[in-house]
Structure 1
Amino acid sequence: MGQHWVNEEMTGCDLGDARLNQRLAVMLEALGDRPDKSLPTAFQDWANTKAAYRFFANENVSEDKILEGHFAASALRIQATDGPILILQDTTEFSFKRSSPEKIGFINESTGRKMKEGRHLKHTVCGLLMHASLAITTEGLPLGLTAAKFWTRNKFKGTEALKRKVNPTRVPIEQKESMRWLDNLQRSTELAGSPERCVHIGDRESDIFELFCLAQDLGTHFLIRSCVDRLAGEGDTTISQVMAKTQVSGTHDIHFRDKRGNQQEATLSVKYATMTVCPPIGKQKKYPKQKLGIIFAEEKNPPEGRSPIIWKLVTNLPVATHADAVQKLVWYSRRWNIETFFKTLKTGCRIEDIRLATADRLANCIALCCVVSWRISWLTILQRQSSTTSPAAVFTDIERTLLDRSMPSNRQGTRRDIAFYMTAVARLGGYLDRSSDPLPGTTVLWRGFIRLADLVAGFQAANPDASSTCG
């Protein structure tokens, strides 16, 4: 994919040492060319592999510093884009098998096989957690990460008993893992520079009253899926009771893929209302009531064997008409973009196969792979949406020449736009390019880019004087 995109993502990064900055750029380009390979395979020889290991272990290197340049590039892309910016938040887990798991940490407790005495064997799972914020346009084009946090959990014993003794809603948010949602919201809003344009989107885990208040204080917006039936009005009713009396405003059709990957369609009945929502009882002296928009969308006649789709959304954006409610449903449906980003990170970059020994080194490596994962996600959506982007902005001269030659003779008359070259890459990754096939996805594209990198290496080996000038 050329050196120029690496320079764009690294311009705002300063590790305090020019040699570290240069090494970071070299590593990013190598991982971009071979994202699914082991570190020795990606870096080609022992000298570069050893340098990479030393880089990840360097005390002056951290995941925040590695992503600093990418965050700056994301901010520039946001500023160059008009209209609302959807900032998707979500958490994912990376599990690892290690002989010394304590060097990394743990992510949860898993229930294993059933023992003779009837109880289940339990064991802790070694791994890392990552909470990320991904900025996208309302059409779904990924603009880049705006915040990321890595951590592990070390204690599980007694947590359930503790929850029975202490009401979690009375624990200050600063003492909870849930604080990550507020931290990312604040960091992303500051990075974007235009809080009024930002719409922070999260799943049911982000249904946190403190998040509602923080968004109000920062002058930004949120759109989250609710999991709590909160008190409403003067505290004498609840959200669900108010919505039960609200008339359906219309319907909305959505398209999605089921667990087997089959395309599905569902018709949702939509109702909406604006109401005053109260804070939790234990926090009513600390936080004010919030005037929020509530949207309920429910599938009335799901097919046999599938649970109905039910979305209960909460937002501080205006919801005055059925069109407003549908717009928010469409925006929330864009949340799959961050799931695709995580899938690319795990499957495409094969994070869980990395053999680094400690949590810090793994976090540094994952941070670097995040930039590669974003790049692949960006290219996937770009080839579906943009016909004006110059192929020279994505591919080098050599890459375009090789892709031209790879296409069959019956496609040689096709216009050489970005879609043509992205299809050529996808064909290298196994895309059949039949008229009935959907547009290429991330899987065939990352496979195609790996093959393209090998073709470029072979071409340059056979033609050492050939120019690799980027467009």
Structure 2
Amino acid sequence: MNNAQWAKSTFGQADLGDPRRTTRLVKLAETLANDPGKPFVSITQSPADMEGAYRFIRNEHVNADAIAKAGYLVTAAQAAKHNLLLALEDTTAITYSHRSVRDELGHVNQGNNYRGILAHSVLLFAPEQQELVGLIEQSRWTRDISTRGKKHVRTQTPYEEKESFKWQSASVNLSARLGAKMADVISVCDREADIYEYLQYKLSKQHRFVVRSMQSRHIEQSEQKLYDYAAGLESAGQKQIHIAQKGGRKARTATVDIVFAPVTLQVPANKRGESLSLYYVGCEERADDKNALNWHLLTTEPVQSKADALNIIRYYEHRWLVEEYHKAWKTDGTDIENARLQSKDNIERLVTISAFIAVRIVQLKFAREQPDEISCEQVLSPKAWKLLWIKRVSRTLPDTVPSMKWAYTELAKLGGWKDTKQTGKASVKVLWQGWFKLQTILEGYDLAKSLEADL
């Protein structure tokens, strides 16, 4: 879909209390998607459009959750097409330093000059089709600045009032939107979700999950704790795992040993409830290095063979995608952290629209993962790929439609990608820049044809 079609499909059913607001939302989403990351003054086509965009973002009657609900319903409808879905979850901080809004935001553990909004996102991903389906849940909140540095108070706070309750709250919302389809969903979470109450809730609702363990718990299978018990398990074989570059860490490939076993987690001494029967999958890099890869995964999925264990590890490997999404949302794509709006409510409205645009940006990455026989017309119109071919290859068009992989490579190159690291993988940023340049070429072509017809 082009940006106009996408905006109407995603937000056209939003209930904002007045159909004129919905019309303005669709128009604004299209405008932002055409040129993400730039201020209204740079992307609106007229002073009237700019004023309309600002009035919408400042309208106190426009609820950010109502905007998001429209997008969630579209994602839920798309989910029905897939037999297996991963719900990839993570939390991020959206930070701002400009003084006009700092007093309305909360602390984010990044120094005294920064305030922000916390956001917990859930993406649906179809591993069998290698398809990012969409954003199905996102909660946002701010921390009370007076609680900064008071971690000891958390032990006295009821579970339902803790920030960590976000994991269970997300599952409640996910289940409400997907209904019976929830049986085909596996939640994939990092160590922060290793919370007894959360695991207990998921089991009680028969929800499926893969959660990376944060602590070596007591288990009923042994007097040893979980990690010590796992160290004595017989290796089921090895696997290579790619570790992406992050911060000062270099990209590399780790060779890990795989172990698995059924385990029953005992109830923590300070909790009430029942023991939790799960499966354990471990993968450990045998290296004398503090940065050696070591994953302890807890899952509801039956694991009775090496193949089963490898599936669990692959599911967890996809969790990087939600981090990629947050990066595209905050900086590399829609660049919401550079927005200069004057109130928390205004920021939330723009942040929510941009959250769905960021999904659209990240979806481009999966063109590379498609089989060679998949046509690029999955993402590009016939006119679009032909213009891309003429721009990048030659004026002689091919007899058959090029593949998705071809579209990925040429869009990336159009965006300035050089593949200097020889990985064959382009960043979201250059892919989107290539996509935007192609849209400009399309607009120029259509304008030229229109003028030619008039003449």
TM-score by length of 1: 0.86
- Does structure 1 residue 455 correspond to structure 2 residue 444? no
Structure 1, unmatched stretches of 5+, are 112-122
Task: Give how far 1:62 is off.
Answer: 2.4
Partner SS, residue 163 of structure 2: coil
**Structure-2 residue corresponding to 1:94:** 94
Deviates more, 1:318-327 or 1:448-457: 448-457
Partner SS, residue 402 of structure 1: helix
Partner SS, residue 147 of structure 1: strand
Opposite residue 282 of structure 2, the aligned amino acid is: F
**Structure-2 residue corresponding to 1:331:** 315
Task: Give how far 1:328 is off.
Answer: 0.6
Match for residue 308 of structure 1 among 255, 276, 292:
292
Q: Please give the alpha-carbon distance, in whole angstroms, between the structure 1 residues aligned to 2:249 and 2:334.
A: 21
Contact 1:429 1:447 in 2 (8 A): yes
**Identity score, percent:** 26
Q: Please give the alpha-carbon distance, in whole angstroms, between the structure 2 residues aligned to 1:333 and 1:403.
A: 33
Opposite residue 278 of structure 1, the aligned amino acid is: Q
Alignment of 1:56-455 (within 5 A): 56-82=57-83, 84-111=84-111, 123=112, 125-139=114-128, 140-157=130-147, 159-160=149-150, 163=152, 168=155, 171-193=157-179, 194-233=181-220, 237-259=224-246, 263-284=251-272, 287-301=273-287, 307-346=291-330, 347-385=332-370, 391-392=376-377, 394-396=379-381, 398-409=383-394, 412-413=397-398, 415-419=400-404, 420-432=406-418, 438-455=424-441
Q: Please give the alpha-carbon distance, in whole angstroms, between the structure 2 residues aligned to 1:273 and 1:250.
A: 14
Question: How far does the alpha carbon of each residue in 1:174-200 deviate from its partner, in whole angstroms, 9 at most, with x for none?
Answer: 110111111112212332332221111
Per the alignment, do residues 379 and 414 of structure 1 end up closer, same or farther by CA in structure 2, a change over 3 Å counting?
farther
Per the alignment, do residues 20 and 386 of structure 1 end up closer, same or farther by CA in structure 2, a change over 3 Å counting?
farther
Q: Please give the alpha-carbon distance, in whole angstroms, between the structure 1 residues aligned to 2:362 and 2:109.
A: 32
**Structure-2 residue corresponding to 1:118:** none
Contact 2:97 2:113 in 1 (8 A): no
Structure 1 vs Structure 2 CA RMSD = 2.8
Q: Please give the alpha-carbon distance, in whole angstroms, between the structure 2 residues aligned to 1:411 and 1:297.
A: 51
Per the alignment, do residues 179 and 257 of structure 1 end up closer, same or farther by CA in structure 2, a change over 3 Å counting?
same
Partner SS, residue 330 of structure 1: helix
Per the alignment, do residues 28 and 386 of structure 1 end up closer, same or farther by CA in structure 2, a change over 3 Å counting?
farther
**Structure-1 residue corresponding to 2:38:** 37
Contact 1:104 1:357 in 2 (8 A): no
Q: Please give the alpha-carbon distance, in whole angstroms, between the structure 1 residues aligned to 2:282 and 2:452.
A: 60
Q: Which has the higher contact order (CA 8 A, sep 6+)?
A: 1
Deviates more, 1:347-356 or 1:399-408: 399-408
Opposite residue 268 of structure 2, the aligned amino acid is: P
Contact 2:302 2:308 in 1 (8 A): yes
Opposite residue 23 of structure 2, the aligned amino acid is: Q
The number of residue pairs the alignment matches comes to 447
Task: Give how far 1:401 is off.
Answer: 4.5
Q: Please give the alpha-carbon distance, in whole angstroms, between the structure 2 residues aligned to 1:150 and 1:275.
A: 35
Task: Give how far 1:154 is off.
Answer: 2.2
Opposite residue 365 of structure 2, the aligned amino acid is: T
Q: Please give the alpha-carbon distance, in whole angstroms, between the structure 2 residues aligned to 1:361 and 1:410.
A: 47
Opposite residue 218 of structure 1, the aligned amino acid is: K
- Does structure 1 residue 25 correspond to structure 2 residue 26? yes
Opposite residue 205 of structure 1, the aligned amino acid is: E
Structure 2, unmatched stretches of 5+, are none
TM-score by length of 2: 0.89
Q: Please give the alpha-carbon distance, in whole angstroms, between the structure 2 residues aligned to 1:3 and 1:57.
A: 23
